[in-house]
Amino acid sequence: MNLKRTLAVTASTTALVLAGAAGAQAKVVELTGTTTFTPSPQATQFLATHGVSVAPTGEATAEEGSFVFPIAAGFGSPRTFSGLLAHKGGLKFTKGDRSAVVRRLVAVRHRGAAVLLAQIPGLRGGCGHLKAALRQFAATHPGVGRKVRKVARDHPKAARKLVRAVRSYCDGGRVIVLARLTNLGKTVDYGGALLTADLKLSRAAARLLNRLAGERIVSAGAPLGTATSRVSVVD
């Protein structure tokens, strides 16, 4: 399958999510808000011990030991709050004269295999991670496969916009799985919802940190921290 068709399939799948046809006809809504990432004590300790500092970049901010990321775009089910959250800003890891940046974090939240994706600017590749995460999300919602083509046909503008967005994301840097999301939780209140997850470091992210440190300091599966997303429905 060539890149253009692959992007079209990915966009069509995402267009289905936006249109709210997934699962038992659950409505999917547009979300906004912020996500706060709080590093685990283990992550803070091993980075500090090995001389690696962490700072926010772009529109991300540091607040009392945590990092806050504005949600650039989000879509999810108000029943399950499975969905996609794309964030502004990133994190810069530095040791001496070496540094590495991860940015444009995208949480793909669904039962079974939720992940946090990120870009590494200046490198290429890894777009398959984004497409695989979207396909996995679609696969967890019965009936998606039968409706993808119809939704893409009925929502051509959304499909074209998403093709451009996916292409831009894939061209902006190497796409990696930064972390696996576990212990997914949600609390609904009058103003919206609070979505929580624990983050386990991925193999690719562990390799990135080990190269930066110049030694093996961490392994895949290490507790990276927790993420808390305060979301509300866009009017």
- In DSSP terms, 36 is beta-bridged to 68, 228
Q: Is the dihedral of CA 166, 169, 173, 175 positive or negative?
A: negative
Reported pTM: 0.77
Give the per-residue pLDDT at 76: 77
Q: Which residues of the chain have pLDDT under 50?
A: 1-25, 141-148, 151
Which tens digits make up the pLDDT trace of 111-169?
667 889 998 887 676 676 666 666 665 555 444 444 445 545 555 665 565 556 666 77
